[in-house]
Protein backbone atom coordinates (compact mmCIF):
# COMPACT_ATOMS: atom_id res chain seq x y z
CA UNK A 1 0.00 0.00 0.00
CA UNK A 2 1.11 3.57 -0.71
CA UNK A 3 -0.44 5.07 2.42
CA UNK A 4 -1.13 4.42 6.07
CA UNK A 5 -4.68 3.19 6.55
CA UNK A 6 -6.73 1.48 9.24
CA UNK A 7 -6.65 -2.10 7.97
CA UNK A 8 -9.29 -3.25 10.44
CA UNK A 9 -11.68 -0.60 9.16
CA UNK A 10 -10.85 -1.43 5.55
CA UNK A 11 -11.95 -5.02 6.07
CA UNK A 12 -15.48 -3.75 6.71
CA UNK A 13 -18.15 -3.65 4.00
CA UNK A 14 -20.82 -1.67 5.82
CA UNK A 15 -23.15 -1.09 2.87
CA UNK A 16 -22.91 -4.66 1.62
CA UNK A 17 -23.51 -5.98 5.15
CA UNK A 18 -26.55 -3.71 5.62
CA UNK A 19 -27.97 -4.94 2.33
CA UNK A 20 -27.52 -8.60 3.33
CA UNK A 21 -29.12 -7.92 6.72
CA UNK A 22 -32.10 -6.26 5.02
CA UNK A 23 -32.61 -9.32 2.83
CA UNK A 24 -32.35 -11.65 5.84
CA UNK A 25 -35.15 -9.69 7.54
CA UNK A 26 -37.53 -10.82 4.77
CA UNK A 27 -39.23 -7.44 4.62
CA UNK A 28 -42.48 -7.46 2.60
CA UNK A 29 -41.95 -5.39 -0.57
CA UNK A 30 -44.56 -2.73 -1.24
CA UNK A 31 -42.08 -0.35 -2.89
CA UNK A 32 -40.20 -0.24 -6.17
CA UNK A 33 -38.69 -1.98 -8.09
CA UNK A 34 -41.80 -3.67 -9.34
CA UNK A 35 -40.21 -7.04 -10.05
CA UNK A 36 -40.44 -7.68 -6.25
CA UNK A 37 -37.15 -9.50 -5.80
CA UNK A 38 -37.52 -11.30 -9.13
CA UNK A 39 -40.96 -12.78 -8.61
CA UNK A 40 -42.39 -10.48 -11.28
CA UNK A 41 -39.72 -11.29 -13.87
CA UNK A 42 -38.94 -14.97 -13.48
CA UNK A 43 -37.18 -15.48 -16.81
CA UNK A 44 -34.56 -12.85 -16.04
CA UNK A 45 -34.34 -13.93 -12.37
CA UNK A 46 -33.61 -17.52 -13.39
CA UNK A 47 -30.88 -16.30 -15.72
CA UNK A 48 -28.96 -13.91 -13.46
CA UNK A 49 -29.81 -15.50 -10.12
CA UNK A 50 -32.17 -14.89 -7.24
CA UNK A 51 -29.61 -13.06 -5.10
CA UNK A 52 -28.96 -10.40 -7.74
CA UNK A 53 -32.68 -9.71 -8.14
CA UNK A 54 -33.27 -9.58 -4.39
CA UNK A 55 -30.40 -7.12 -3.94
CA UNK A 56 -32.01 -4.77 -6.45
CA UNK A 57 -33.83 -2.61 -3.91
CA UNK A 58 -34.87 0.99 -3.41
CA UNK A 59 -33.46 3.58 -0.99
CA UNK A 60 -34.84 3.25 2.56
CA UNK A 61 -33.79 4.14 6.09
CA UNK A 62 -31.75 0.99 6.86
CA UNK A 63 -29.91 1.29 3.51
CA UNK A 64 -29.41 5.08 3.38
CA UNK A 65 -29.86 7.31 0.34
CA UNK A 66 -27.08 8.17 -2.14
CA UNK A 67 -28.50 11.64 -2.78
CA UNK A 68 -28.10 12.56 0.89
CA UNK A 69 -26.08 9.86 2.65
CA UNK A 70 -26.19 9.88 6.46
CA UNK A 71 -25.54 6.28 7.54
CA UNK A 72 -24.20 3.17 5.77
CA UNK A 73 -23.53 4.79 2.38
CA UNK A 74 -21.85 7.70 4.16
CA UNK A 75 -19.60 5.34 6.12
CA UNK A 76 -18.83 3.22 3.06
CA UNK A 77 -17.77 6.36 1.21
CA UNK A 78 -15.60 7.48 4.13
CA UNK A 79 -13.83 4.11 4.15
CA UNK A 80 -13.31 4.38 0.38
CA UNK A 81 -11.86 7.89 0.77
CA UNK A 82 -9.32 6.54 3.26
CA UNK A 83 -8.42 3.68 0.90
CA UNK A 84 -7.62 6.09 -1.93
CA UNK A 85 -5.97 8.75 0.23
CA UNK A 86 -8.71 11.32 -0.37
CA UNK A 87 -10.67 13.58 1.94
CA UNK A 88 -14.00 12.60 0.38
CA UNK A 89 -15.31 9.84 -1.85
CA UNK A 90 -18.62 9.79 -3.70
CA UNK A 91 -20.14 6.59 -5.06
CA UNK A 92 -21.19 7.14 -8.68
CA UNK A 93 -23.79 4.99 -10.43
CA UNK A 94 -23.61 6.99 -13.68
CA UNK A 95 -20.16 5.70 -14.56
CA UNK A 96 -16.98 7.73 -14.70
CA UNK A 97 -18.74 9.92 -17.24
CA UNK A 98 -20.78 11.26 -14.33
CA UNK A 99 -17.68 11.65 -12.18
CA UNK A 100 -15.74 13.58 -14.84
CA UNK A 101 -18.70 15.87 -15.44
CA UNK A 102 -19.15 16.46 -11.70
CA UNK A 103 -15.46 17.44 -11.38
CA UNK A 104 -15.73 20.04 -14.12
CA UNK A 105 -19.12 21.38 -13.06
CA UNK A 106 -17.96 21.65 -9.43
CA UNK A 107 -15.00 23.86 -10.31
CA UNK A 108 -16.07 25.76 -13.46
CA UNK A 109 -19.01 27.97 -14.28
CA UNK A 110 -20.13 29.66 -17.50
CA UNK A 111 -17.20 31.52 -19.05
CA UNK A 112 -14.56 29.97 -16.78
CA UNK A 113 -11.48 28.63 -18.54
CA UNK A 114 -10.46 25.00 -18.18
CA UNK A 115 -6.99 23.94 -19.36
CA UNK A 116 -7.52 20.54 -20.88
CA UNK A 117 -5.76 18.09 -23.22
CA UNK A 118 -7.63 17.68 -26.49
CA UNK A 119 -7.49 13.87 -26.26
CA UNK A 120 -10.07 13.86 -23.45
CA UNK A 121 -13.03 11.53 -23.24
CA UNK A 122 -16.26 12.95 -24.67
CA UNK A 123 -17.65 13.26 -21.11
CA UNK A 124 -15.33 16.20 -20.42
CA UNK A 125 -16.40 18.18 -23.47
CA UNK A 126 -20.04 17.27 -22.78
CA UNK A 127 -19.61 18.84 -19.33
CA UNK A 128 -18.45 22.07 -20.97
CA UNK A 129 -21.46 21.98 -23.29
CA UNK A 130 -23.69 21.82 -20.21
CA UNK A 131 -21.95 24.26 -17.85
CA UNK A 132 -20.51 26.71 -20.38
CA UNK A 133 -16.85 26.42 -19.38
CA UNK A 134 -14.37 27.46 -22.05
CA UNK A 135 -11.69 24.94 -23.06
CA UNK A 136 -8.06 25.96 -23.37
CA UNK A 137 -6.71 22.99 -25.26
CA UNK A 138 -3.21 21.64 -24.84
CA UNK A 139 -2.29 19.44 -27.76
CA UNK A 140 -0.79 16.27 -26.29
CA UNK A 141 2.47 14.86 -27.47
CA UNK A 142 2.28 12.48 -30.43
CA UNK A 143 4.20 9.28 -31.04
CA UNK A 144 4.46 9.46 -34.82
CA UNK A 145 5.20 5.75 -35.30
CA UNK A 146 2.38 4.48 -33.13
CA UNK A 147 0.02 7.30 -34.09
CA UNK A 148 -1.13 7.71 -30.48
CA UNK A 149 -1.42 10.85 -28.40
CA UNK A 150 0.75 10.99 -25.29
CA UNK A 151 0.61 12.89 -22.01
CA UNK A 152 0.89 16.61 -21.26
CA UNK A 153 4.34 18.16 -21.58
CA UNK A 154 5.33 20.36 -18.63
CA UNK A 155 6.51 23.00 -21.10
CA UNK A 156 3.05 23.10 -22.68
CA UNK A 157 1.35 23.25 -19.27
CA UNK A 158 3.55 26.20 -18.23
CA UNK A 159 2.74 27.99 -21.49
CA UNK A 160 -1.01 27.44 -21.06
CA UNK A 161 -0.90 28.73 -17.47
CA UNK A 162 1.12 31.80 -18.46
CA UNK A 163 -1.25 32.65 -21.32
CA UNK A 164 -4.39 31.93 -19.24
CA UNK A 165 -3.67 32.99 -15.65
CA UNK A 166 -7.42 33.29 -15.03
CA UNK A 167 -8.09 29.58 -15.74
CA UNK A 168 -9.93 27.85 -12.91
CA UNK A 169 -8.55 24.35 -13.32
CA UNK A 170 -6.39 21.94 -15.28
CA UNK A 171 -7.73 18.53 -16.28
CA UNK A 172 -5.27 15.67 -16.86
CA UNK A 173 -5.84 12.24 -18.42
CA UNK A 174 -3.78 9.91 -16.26
CA UNK A 175 -3.23 7.32 -17.57
CA UNK A 176 -4.41 7.48 -21.17
CA UNK A 177 -6.25 4.52 -22.62
CA UNK A 178 -2.89 3.19 -23.83
CA UNK A 179 -1.17 3.49 -20.42
CA UNK A 180 0.71 6.77 -20.93
CA UNK A 181 1.17 8.89 -17.78
CA UNK A 182 2.02 12.58 -17.44
CA UNK A 183 4.25 14.17 -14.79
CA UNK A 184 1.25 14.55 -12.51
CA UNK A 185 3.12 15.73 -9.44
CA UNK A 186 4.79 18.60 -11.32
CA UNK A 187 1.50 19.59 -12.97
CA UNK A 188 -0.17 19.73 -9.55
CA UNK A 189 2.64 21.90 -8.18
CA UNK A 190 2.43 24.32 -11.12
CA UNK A 191 -1.35 24.56 -10.93
CA UNK A 192 -1.48 25.14 -7.19
CA UNK A 193 1.24 27.80 -7.40
CA UNK A 194 -1.05 29.62 -9.83
CA UNK A 195 -4.28 29.17 -7.88
CA UNK A 196 -5.77 26.49 -10.14
CA UNK A 197 -7.42 23.20 -9.27
CA UNK A 198 -6.18 19.92 -10.73
CA UNK A 199 -8.81 17.45 -11.92
CA UNK A 200 -7.67 13.99 -12.98
CA UNK A 201 -9.54 11.65 -15.27
CA UNK A 202 -8.12 8.50 -13.68
CA UNK A 203 -10.67 6.23 -15.34
CA UNK A 204 -8.00 3.71 -16.29
CA UNK A 205 -5.95 4.02 -13.09
CA UNK A 206 -8.09 2.65 -10.27
CA UNK A 207 -5.26 0.25 -9.47
CA UNK A 208 -2.55 2.91 -9.02
CA UNK A 209 -3.33 3.38 -5.32
CA UNK A 210 -2.72 -0.26 -4.40
CA UNK A 211 0.75 -1.17 -5.66
CA UNK A 212 3.76 1.09 -5.12
CA UNK A 213 5.39 -0.29 -8.27
CA UNK A 214 2.70 1.29 -10.42
CA UNK A 215 2.59 4.99 -11.45
CA UNK A 216 1.63 7.58 -8.84
CA UNK A 217 -2.10 7.98 -8.19
CA UNK A 218 -3.93 11.29 -8.51
CA UNK A 219 -4.54 11.68 -4.79
CA UNK A 220 -0.95 10.81 -3.90
CA UNK A 221 0.23 13.44 -6.39
CA UNK A 222 -1.91 16.06 -4.61
CA UNK A 223 -4.71 16.44 -7.16
CA UNK A 224 -7.89 18.16 -6.00
CA UNK A 225 -10.33 15.74 -7.63
CA UNK A 226 -10.10 12.41 -9.43
CA UNK A 227 -12.60 10.27 -11.32
CA UNK A 228 -11.98 6.54 -10.81
CA UNK A 229 -13.48 3.80 -13.00
CA UNK A 230 -13.67 1.07 -10.41
CA UNK A 231 -15.44 -1.17 -12.90
CA UNK A 232 -12.53 -1.03 -15.38
CA UNK A 233 -9.64 -2.33 -13.27
CA UNK A 234 -10.99 -2.29 -9.71
CA UNK A 235 -13.38 -5.22 -9.84
CA UNK A 236 -16.79 -3.57 -9.36
CA UNK A 237 -19.78 -3.85 -11.69
CA UNK A 238 -19.98 -1.93 -14.96
CA UNK A 239 -21.26 1.65 -14.51
CA UNK A 240 -20.00 1.92 -10.93
CA UNK A 241 -17.29 4.49 -10.22
CA UNK A 242 -15.90 6.67 -7.46
CA UNK A 243 -15.26 10.40 -7.46
CA UNK A 244 -12.53 11.54 -5.05
CA UNK A 245 -11.81 15.02 -3.70
CA UNK A 246 -9.15 16.65 -1.54
CA UNK A 247 -8.87 19.29 1.17
CA UNK A 248 -9.55 22.34 -1.03
CA UNK A 249 -12.88 21.08 -2.33
CA UNK A 250 -16.27 21.81 -0.72
CA UNK A 251 -17.69 18.30 -0.43
CA UNK A 252 -21.28 19.41 0.12
CA UNK A 253 -21.19 21.57 -3.00
CA UNK A 254 -19.84 18.65 -5.02
CA UNK A 255 -22.69 16.46 -3.77
CA UNK A 256 -25.15 19.12 -4.88
CA UNK A 257 -23.59 19.18 -8.34
CA UNK A 258 -23.67 15.38 -8.58
CA UNK A 259 -27.38 15.45 -7.72
CA UNK A 260 -28.09 17.70 -10.70
CA UNK A 261 -27.61 14.78 -13.07
CA UNK A 262 -27.25 11.50 -11.17
CA UNK A 263 -30.31 9.30 -10.69
CA UNK A 264 -32.34 9.43 -7.49
CA UNK A 265 -32.83 5.66 -7.86
CA UNK A 266 -29.28 4.50 -7.23
CA UNK A 267 -28.58 0.81 -7.84
CA UNK A 268 -27.63 -1.04 -4.67
CA UNK A 269 -26.05 -3.76 -6.79
CA UNK A 270 -23.62 -1.17 -8.16
CA UNK A 271 -22.96 0.49 -4.80
CA UNK A 272 -22.46 -2.81 -2.97
CA UNK A 273 -20.02 -3.90 -5.66
CA UNK A 274 -18.01 -0.71 -5.01
CA UNK A 275 -17.95 -1.47 -1.28
CA UNK A 276 -16.69 -5.03 -1.76
CA UNK A 277 -14.27 -4.16 -4.60
CA UNK A 278 -12.64 -1.47 -2.45
CA UNK A 279 -12.08 -3.98 0.34
CA UNK A 280 -10.56 -6.46 -2.12
CA UNK A 281 -8.19 -3.82 -3.50
CA UNK A 282 -6.96 -2.85 -0.05
CA UNK A 283 -6.53 -6.41 1.22
CA UNK A 284 -5.36 -8.14 -1.97
CA UNK A 285 -4.45 -5.32 -4.35
CA UNK A 286 -0.70 -5.70 -4.37
CA UNK A 287 -0.91 -9.43 -5.04
CA UNK A 288 -3.57 -8.90 -7.73
CA UNK A 289 -1.61 -6.26 -9.61
CA UNK A 290 1.71 -8.05 -9.36
CA UNK A 291 -0.02 -10.98 -11.07
CA UNK A 292 -1.54 -8.60 -13.62
CA UNK A 293 1.84 -7.06 -14.48
CA UNK A 294 3.40 -10.51 -14.76
CA UNK A 295 0.72 -11.56 -17.26
CA UNK A 296 1.06 -8.33 -19.26
CA UNK A 297 4.86 -8.37 -19.35
CA UNK A 298 4.90 -12.00 -20.45
CA UNK A 299 2.41 -11.28 -23.23
CA UNK A 300 4.37 -8.19 -24.29
CA UNK A 301 7.58 -10.19 -24.54
CA UNK A 302 6.03 -13.08 -26.47
CA UNK A 303 4.11 -10.83 -28.90
CA UNK A 304 7.29 -8.90 -29.69
CA UNK A 305 9.02 -12.20 -30.52
CA UNK A 306 6.42 -12.82 -33.24
CA UNK A 307 7.74 -9.99 -35.39
CA UNK A 308 5.52 -7.50 -37.18
CA UNK A 309 3.76 -6.47 -33.98
CA UNK A 310 5.07 -4.01 -31.40
CA UNK A 311 3.76 -4.42 -27.86
CA UNK A 312 5.06 -1.28 -26.21
CA UNK A 313 5.92 -0.56 -22.62
CA UNK A 314 8.29 1.40 -20.38
CA UNK A 315 10.81 1.96 -23.18
CA UNK A 316 8.52 4.82 -24.33
CA UNK A 317 9.26 6.82 -21.17
CA UNK A 318 10.99 10.11 -21.99
CA UNK A 319 10.54 11.97 -18.70
CA UNK A 320 8.11 14.45 -20.24
CA UNK A 321 5.08 13.62 -22.44
CA UNK A 322 5.61 9.98 -21.42
CA UNK A 323 6.60 10.45 -17.81
CA UNK A 324 5.57 6.93 -16.80
CA UNK A 325 3.81 3.88 -18.22
CA UNK A 326 1.15 1.60 -16.76
CA UNK A 327 2.64 -1.87 -17.24
CA UNK A 328 -0.73 -3.58 -16.70
CA UNK A 329 -1.79 -2.32 -20.15
CA UNK A 330 -1.17 -4.51 -23.19
CA UNK A 331 -1.13 -2.08 -26.09
CA UNK A 332 0.04 -3.49 -29.44
CA UNK A 333 0.91 -1.66 -32.67
CA UNK A 334 -0.36 -3.60 -35.70
CA UNK A 335 0.26 -1.53 -38.81
CA UNK A 336 3.58 -3.19 -39.68
CA UNK A 337 1.61 -6.32 -40.64
CA UNK A 338 -0.56 -4.17 -42.89
CA UNK A 339 -3.65 -4.32 -40.69
CA UNK A 340 -5.39 -1.54 -38.80
CA UNK A 341 -5.97 -2.23 -35.14
CA UNK A 342 -9.73 -2.35 -35.73
CA UNK A 343 -9.19 -5.07 -38.36
CA UNK A 344 -7.21 -7.20 -35.90
CA UNK A 345 -9.90 -6.49 -33.28
CA UNK A 346 -12.61 -7.80 -35.62
CA UNK A 347 -10.62 -10.90 -36.66
CA UNK A 348 -9.86 -11.80 -33.04
CA UNK A 349 -13.54 -11.61 -32.13
CA UNK A 350 -15.07 -13.14 -35.27
CA UNK A 351 -12.52 -15.84 -36.08
CA UNK A 352 -10.92 -16.66 -32.73
CA UNK A 353 -13.59 -15.90 -30.12
CA UNK A 354 -11.40 -13.33 -28.34
CA UNK A 355 -12.89 -9.98 -27.26
CA UNK A 356 -10.29 -7.30 -26.65
CA UNK A 357 -10.92 -3.77 -25.37
CA UNK A 358 -10.37 -1.76 -28.51
CA UNK A 359 -8.87 -1.50 -31.94
CA UNK A 360 -8.11 1.86 -33.51
CA UNK A 361 -6.44 2.65 -36.82
CA UNK A 362 -3.00 1.43 -35.72
CA UNK A 363 -3.25 -0.34 -32.37
CA UNK A 364 -5.13 -2.85 -30.29
CA UNK A 365 -5.54 -2.80 -26.52
CA UNK A 366 -6.19 -5.79 -24.29
CA UNK A 367 -7.17 -5.14 -20.68
CA UNK A 368 -5.25 -7.57 -18.49
CA UNK A 369 -6.22 -8.30 -14.88
CA UNK A 370 -5.58 -10.97 -12.28
CA UNK A 371 -8.94 -12.40 -13.32
CA UNK A 372 -7.35 -13.63 -16.54
CA UNK A 373 -5.86 -17.11 -16.85
CA UNK A 374 -2.52 -18.20 -18.28
CA UNK A 375 -4.15 -20.34 -20.97
CA UNK A 376 -6.14 -17.32 -22.16
CA UNK A 377 -2.97 -15.23 -22.44
CA UNK A 378 -1.40 -18.01 -24.51
CA UNK A 379 -4.50 -18.16 -26.70
CA UNK A 380 -4.25 -14.44 -27.43
CA UNK A 381 -0.56 -14.73 -28.35
CA UNK A 382 -1.06 -17.74 -30.61
CA UNK A 383 -4.06 -16.09 -32.28
CA UNK A 384 -2.03 -12.98 -33.08
CA UNK A 385 0.69 -15.22 -34.56
CA UNK A 386 -1.85 -16.92 -36.80
CA UNK A 387 -3.46 -13.63 -37.83
CA UNK A 388 -0.05 -12.38 -38.92
CA UNK A 389 0.50 -15.55 -40.96
CA UNK A 390 -2.93 -15.57 -42.59
CA UNK A 391 -3.88 -11.93 -42.99
CA UNK A 392 -0.75 -9.74 -43.12
CA UNK A 393 -0.29 -7.51 -46.16
CA UNK A 394 1.58 -4.47 -47.40
CA UNK A 395 1.16 -1.46 -45.12
CA UNK A 396 1.54 1.26 -47.76
CA UNK A 397 -1.20 3.87 -47.81
CA UNK A 398 -2.40 3.29 -44.26
CA UNK A 399 -3.45 6.35 -42.21
CA UNK A 400 -0.47 7.27 -40.08
CA UNK A 401 -1.89 8.97 -36.96
CA UNK A 402 -4.80 9.00 -34.54
CA UNK A 403 -4.67 12.56 -33.27
CA UNK A 404 -5.43 15.71 -35.28
CA UNK A 405 -4.78 19.16 -33.79
CA UNK A 406 -8.15 20.96 -33.60
CA UNK A 407 -8.94 24.41 -34.95
CA UNK A 408 -11.25 25.82 -32.27
CA UNK A 409 -13.40 28.77 -33.31
CA UNK A 410 -16.33 28.59 -30.85
CA UNK A 411 -16.95 27.27 -27.34
CA UNK A 412 -18.52 23.80 -27.19
CA UNK A 413 -21.69 25.21 -25.62
CA UNK A 414 -22.15 28.02 -28.18
CA UNK A 415 -21.62 25.62 -31.10
CA UNK A 416 -23.82 22.84 -29.70
CA UNK A 417 -26.78 25.16 -29.06
CA UNK A 418 -26.31 27.32 -32.17
CA UNK A 419 -28.62 27.50 -35.16
CA UNK A 420 -27.40 24.71 -37.37
CA UNK A 421 -27.92 22.80 -40.57
CA UNK A 422 -27.24 19.17 -41.47
CA UNK A 423 -25.07 18.61 -44.53
CA UNK A 424 -23.09 15.68 -46.00
CA UNK A 425 -19.83 15.21 -44.12
CA UNK A 426 -17.92 15.11 -47.41
CA UNK A 427 -19.21 18.64 -48.17
CA UNK A 428 -18.44 20.09 -44.73
CA UNK A 429 -14.80 21.20 -45.13
CA UNK A 430 -14.35 24.71 -43.76
CA UNK A 431 -17.56 24.64 -41.71
CA UNK A 432 -17.77 24.65 -37.90
CA UNK A 433 -19.01 21.43 -36.33
CA UNK A 434 -22.03 21.66 -34.03
CA UNK A 435 -21.68 18.09 -32.78
CA UNK A 436 -19.21 15.28 -32.09
CA UNK A 437 -17.65 12.63 -34.26
CA UNK A 438 -15.71 9.93 -32.42
CA UNK A 439 -14.69 6.31 -32.64
CA UNK A 440 -15.96 4.27 -29.70
CA UNK A 441 -14.06 2.99 -27.89
CA UNK A 442 -12.12 5.00 -26.77
CA UNK A 443 -14.64 7.84 -27.03
CA UNK A 444 -12.07 10.57 -27.71
CA UNK A 445 -13.57 13.03 -30.21
CA UNK A 446 -12.13 13.27 -33.70
CA UNK A 447 -14.23 16.40 -33.94
CA UNK A 448 -16.00 18.35 -31.18
CA UNK A 449 -18.58 21.17 -31.23
CA UNK A 450 -16.94 24.49 -32.09
CA UNK A 451 -14.09 23.03 -34.15
CA UNK A 452 -13.45 23.74 -37.83
CA UNK A 453 -13.78 20.76 -40.16
CA UNK A 454 -10.67 20.19 -42.30
CA UNK A 455 -9.67 17.95 -45.22
CA UNK A 456 -7.54 15.90 -42.83
CA UNK A 457 -10.51 15.28 -40.52
CA UNK A 458 -12.70 14.20 -43.46
CA UNK A 459 -9.99 11.80 -44.64
CA UNK A 460 -9.71 10.38 -41.13
CA UNK A 461 -13.47 9.86 -40.80
CA UNK A 462 -13.70 8.23 -44.24
CA UNK A 463 -10.74 5.94 -43.51
CA UNK A 464 -12.10 4.97 -40.08
CA UNK A 465 -15.48 4.07 -41.62
CA UNK A 466 -13.77 2.05 -44.35
CA UNK A 467 -11.79 0.06 -41.76
CA UNK A 468 -14.90 -0.69 -39.70
CA UNK A 469 -14.55 1.65 -36.71
CA UNK A 470 -17.77 2.33 -34.81
CA UNK A 471 -18.26 6.06 -35.28
CA UNK A 472 -20.69 7.83 -32.96
CA UNK A 473 -21.71 11.32 -31.87
CA UNK A 474 -23.65 12.64 -34.84
CA UNK A 475 -27.41 13.03 -34.98
CA UNK A 476 -27.25 11.06 -38.24
CA UNK A 477 -26.95 7.44 -37.09
CA UNK A 478 -25.13 6.51 -40.32
CA UNK A 479 -22.53 9.27 -39.81
CA UNK A 480 -22.91 10.33 -43.44
CA UNK A 481 -24.15 13.81 -42.48
CA UNK A 482 -23.15 16.28 -39.80
CA UNK A 483 -24.70 19.29 -38.09
CA UNK A 484 -22.69 22.45 -38.71
CA UNK A 485 -23.13 25.97 -37.40
CA UNK A 486 -25.42 27.93 -39.69
CA UNK A 487 -23.67 30.66 -41.64
CA UNK A 488 -25.00 34.16 -40.94
Q: Classify residue 424: in a domain, yes or no.
A: yes
Q: What is the largest CA-CA distance in the chain?
A: 67
Q: Please tell me the predicted confidence (pLDDT) of residue 2.
A: 44
Residues 303 and 176 in one domain: no
Give the pLDDT of residue 23.
92
Q: Are residue 265 and residue 315 in the same domain, yes or no? A: no
Any domain includes 1: no
pLDDT value at position 438? 87
Residue 299 lies in a domain: yes
Domain co-membership, 278 together with 306: no
- List C-alpha distances in Å: 288 to 40, 233, 298, 389: 39, 11, 16, 34
Q: Is 441 inside any structural domain?
A: yes
CATH of residue 174: 3.40.640.10
The rounded Cα 363 to chain-centroid distance in angstroms is 18
Reported as half-sphere exposure (CB side, CA atoms, 13 A), residue 70 has a value of 5
Both 158 and 189 in one domain: the answer is yes
Residues 277, 330 share a domain: no
Residue 114 lies in a domain: yes
Report the CATH number that the domain containing residue 428 is assigned in CATH. 3.90.105.10
| pLDDT confidence of residue 118 | 87
pTM greater than 0.85 (yes/no): yes
Domain membership flag for residue 402: no
Question: Mind listing the pLDDT tens digit of every residue in the chain (488 residues)?
Answer: 446 789 999 999 999 999 999 999 988 998 899 999 999 999 999 999 999 999 999 999 999 999 999 999 999 999 999 999 999 999 999 999 999 999 999 999 999 999 999 889 999 999 999 999 999 999 888 898 898 889 999 999 999 999 999 999 999 999 999 999 999 999 999 999 999 999 999 999 999 999 999 999 999 999 999 999 999 999 999 999 999 999 999 999 999 999 999 999 999 999 999 999 999 999 999 999 999 999 999 999 999 999 999 999 999 999 999 999 999 999 999 999 999 999 999 999 999 999 999 999 999 999 999 999 999 999 999 999 999 999 999 887 777 666 778 899 999 999 999 999 999 999 999 999 999 998 877 778 889 999 999 999 999 899 889 888 889 999 999 999 999 999 87
Kindly report the CATH number assigned to the domain that includes residue 301. Answer: 3.90.1150.10
d(CA 246, CA 251): 9
Tell which of 282, 310, 343 closes a domain.
Answer: 282
Same domain, 316 and 277: no
Answer yes or no: do 181 and 156 share one domain.
yes
* Single residue among 391, 422, 443 that ends a domain in this structure: 391
21 lies in the same domain as 113:
yes
Would you state the pLDDT for residue 445? Answer: 87
308 and 419 together in one domain: no
- 230 and 96 within one domain: yes
What's the chain look like in SS3? CCCCCCHHHHCCCHHHHHHHHHHHCCCCCCCCCCCCCCCCCHHHHHHHCHHHHHHCCCCEHHHECCCCCCCHHHHHHHHHHHHHCCCEEEEECCHHHHHHHHHHHHHCCCCCEEEEECCCCHHHHHHHHHHCCEEEEECCCEECCCCEECCCCHHHHHHHHHHCCCCCEEEEECCCCCCEECCHHHHHHHHHHCCCEEEEEECCCHHHHHCCCCCCCCCCCCCCEEEECHHHHCCCCCCCEEEEECCCCCHHHHHHHHHHHCCCCCCHHHHHHHHHHHHHHHHHHHHHHHHHHHHHHHHHHHHHHHCCCEEECHHHCCCCCCCEECCCEEEEECHHHCCCHHHHHHHHHHHHCCCCCEECCCEEEEECCCCCCHHHHHHHHHHHHHHHHHHCCCCCCCCCCCCCCCCECCCHHHHHCCCEEEEEHHHCCCCEECCCEEECCCCCEEECCCEECCHHHHHHHHHHHHHCCCEECCCCCCCCEEEEECCC
Same domain membership, residue 195 and residue 131: yes
Q: Tell whether 171 is covered by a domain.
A: yes
Residue 212 and residue 361 in one domain:
no
- Measured between alpha carbons, how far apart are the two ends of the chain, in Å? 59
Q: Domain residues for 15?
A: 7-282
Q: How many domains does the chain have?
A: 3
420 is a domain residue: yes
Amino acid sequence: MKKNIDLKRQKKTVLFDALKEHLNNRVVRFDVPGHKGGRGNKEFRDFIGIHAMQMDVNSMKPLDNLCHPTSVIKEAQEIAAEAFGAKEAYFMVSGTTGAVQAMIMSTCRTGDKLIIPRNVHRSAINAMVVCGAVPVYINPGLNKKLGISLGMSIKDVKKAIKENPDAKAILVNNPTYYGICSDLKSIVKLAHENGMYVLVDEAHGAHFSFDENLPISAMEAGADMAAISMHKTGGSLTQSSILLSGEKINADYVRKIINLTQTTSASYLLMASLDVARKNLVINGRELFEKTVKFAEYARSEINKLGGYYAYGKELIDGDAVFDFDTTKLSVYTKDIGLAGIEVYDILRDEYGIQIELGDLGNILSIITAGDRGLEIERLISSLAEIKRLYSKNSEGMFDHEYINPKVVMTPQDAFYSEKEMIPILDSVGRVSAEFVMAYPPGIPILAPGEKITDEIIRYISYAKEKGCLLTGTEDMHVDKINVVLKK
